[in-house]
Structure 1
Amino acid sequence: MTAHAEPPSTRVTPAFAAALDKFALATLENEPGAVYALDRDLRLCYFNPAWFRFAEVNRGEPGISTRFPLGTPLAAAISGPLQMFYLASYTQVLQDGTPWQHDYECSSDTVLRRFHQRCYPLANRQAMIIINSLAVEQPHPVAAETHAADEACYRNQHGLIVQCSHCRRIERAAQPGHWDWVPAWVAVQPPHTSHSLCPPCYDYYYRFRRGTLPRPQ
């Protein structure tokens, strides 16, 4: 795709393309980081090519394209305790008309990845652009502290495995507050997994941020 080629209709809505003001569409198309956009109702209205490249490399395709096409509400694409955080934060961006930044983790079972997210509202506040830039990529530092995927240890009295939505560690069923790195369940999420936030991730990334979450119970 050249810098001036129009993206296909599966990646951009006409309303978003028409609403762009300070950004050229070619700039978003050529951005190496994954970019998506939301309309004023927080529905997905644009993806750049890097969005799909990242999904494919991380075994997310073709599921990402099938499950979250243009027009999908953001609430349907984010689950667990982070849903409220991002919905509140993005709503505030559109209301204030000011950019917002946030750091988050998106690691695999062997690689630690941290991303820096920049959110830009359009001048008319009819949409916002979210650019995700890779900040850290390295072998996962807890790889030597791995735990086996032992359901007897981690599946709780409700039949659920509780995973931190941010760092993806697993909470011990009999020792609440103890979270372990279980790489097998990072690579492939087990059935009946619930999501929460471990205390360090909650305090560092979310406690005092916009869209503050109540402390997980």
Structure 2
Amino acid sequence: MAQLIAGNWKMNGRTRQAAELCAALRDGAGGLGCELVVFPPATQLTAVAGLLAGSPIAVGGQDCHADPDGAHTGDISAGMLRDCGATWVILGHSERRADHAEVDDLIRQKVEAAQGEGLRTIVCVGETDEQRATGRETEVVGWQLLGSLPRDFAGVVAYEPVWAIGSGKTPGIDEVAAMHAFIREELVRQFAEAGRSVPILYGGSVKPGNAADLLAVPEVAGALVGGASLVAVDFLAIARAARYG
């Protein structure tokens, strides 16, 4: 199976910047052996979907509401994402959990809504620096998996240690391998045989210089890339480090 390289633009990207980035990605995406998807801000979603139409690059939203419509000022439903041209969505990112007080049960409801609209989901889990320092990283991630994933989960899990996001720090290869092995065990415990096929991405300061090593770790099925996804040459370099099979 081809590895998945996902670029989360977060709250970045005006119209001109998004168009230039899309053009560079289209030009460089041919012949890659991985699956590519980008997650622009909601204001650029329709435009980016149009600019990348017909290319090997898919487009997703950075979040969605659990309800299909209603009095939710400023929110976007899964159906609205589909209407904009999205086929993916990121849910449960640590920045949503921290900045918007999103809890596991809410994230699970969002996953159910997204799957109901046919969106492919990336559900993020990960521990803080304090949680790792006190030896609670597997406990935290285990509870996040249990609470955030519905019984019929058919998406992707992304492990993003919170302390590594945007910090330039990454866990050691052995630490990444240990956590991904733990997540696989938890997925099998939760979903039986179906849990063996759920892809697990690594995210957190993924760069061209460390991508090959991270993507070679057992149970790492790809990468969720933040800052480096805003620079076409860097994002494509990470994609070229991906493996097939």
TM-score normalised to structure 1 length: 0.27
Q: Answer with 1 or 2: which has the greater Rg.
A: 1
TM-score normalised to structure 2 length: 0.25
Greater relative contact order: 1 or 2 (C-alpha under 8 angstroms, separation 6 or more)?
A: 2
Higher helix share: 2
Higher strand share: 1
